[in-house]
């Protein structure tokens, strides 16, 4: 089961926004030096991500459950395919998170873009809890018959999560995806280097696709 963060809709908004605003100055300094590294995680509600390309190594995928919250703040479970990468390089990444019914404002959208100015986003130990995915995909040295409990391929099973050891799973040495569109419940990375980061708030609903 995926890690859980957030509670009521207002708390989810605060969890997403307050650290982001407080870190803006530090992000600017890091980008200026070309050395931004940050751990990154969003969960509790679904969000959308697009990318022109995603090139990853040590790909591993298995079925699991992600925990989110409904409009009343109740915890809910959602089936997901957890995709993990030892390393990943991403171009033209867009991530949008919509928080509905924020007091006074109504819906508020957070739009984050990076890797679109010639220097791609780079991540290590990347985990994506994906509910829907559209992309063109190429895998090298793929093994579809591997059991979900097999951790021989790193990074393997996400820490502090559970997977059915007899459920579906696949792994590959390399994965190349283009024209990526996905709806996810969580994104976690040991290290995220966001080159050319742009973060904007929009009143209303504004998503990557």
* Chain segment 138-167, per-residue pLDDT in tens: 999 888 766 555 555 556 677 766 666 667
Cα end-to-end span (Å), the chain:
27
pLDDT at 97 over 80: yes
More confident residue, 7 or 70: 70
* Chain segment 43-84, per-residue pLDDT in tens: 567 889 999 999 999 999 888 887 766 666 677 788 888 899
Helix axes 9-22, 24-33, angle to 10 degrees: 40
What is the model's pTM?
A: 0.75
- Tokens at residue 120, please? 């791609």
Q: Where are the domains of the chain?
A: 9-203
Calpha distance 46→126 (Å, rounded) = 17
- Looking at residue 151, its pLDDT comes to 53
Q: Say what percent of the chain tops pLDDT 90.
A: 29
Calpha distance 156→134 (Å, rounded) = 23
Place of tokens 């090139």: 55
Q: How large is the average pLDDT for residues 172-186?
A: 93
């Amino acid at each position: 089961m995926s890690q859980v963060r957030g509670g009521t809709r207002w708390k989810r908004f605060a969890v997403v926004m307050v650290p982001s605003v407080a870190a803006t100055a530090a992000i600017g300094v890091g980008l200026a030096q070309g050395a931004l590294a940050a751990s990154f995680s969003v969960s509790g509600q679904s969000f959308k991500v697009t990318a022109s390309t995603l090139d990853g190594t040590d790909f591993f995928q298995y079925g699991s459950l992600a925990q989110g919250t409904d409009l009343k703040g109740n915890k809910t479970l959602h089936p997901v395919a957890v995709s993990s990468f030892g390393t990943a390089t991403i171009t033209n990444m867009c991530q949008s998170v919509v928080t509905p019914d924020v007091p006074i404002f109504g819906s508020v959208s957070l739009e984050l873009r990076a890797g679109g100015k010639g220097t791609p986003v780079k991540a290590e130990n990347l985990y994506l809890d994906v509910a829907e995915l559209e992309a063109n995909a190429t895998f090298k040295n793929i093994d579809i018959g591997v059991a979900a409990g097999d951790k021989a391929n790193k990074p393997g099973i996400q820490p502090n999560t559970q997977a059915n050891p007899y459920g579906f799973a696949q792994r590959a040495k390399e994965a190349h995806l283009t024209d990526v569109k996905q709806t996810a419940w969580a994104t976690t990375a040991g290290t995220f280097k966001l080159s050319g980061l742009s973060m904007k708030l929009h009143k209303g609903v504004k998503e990557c696709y």
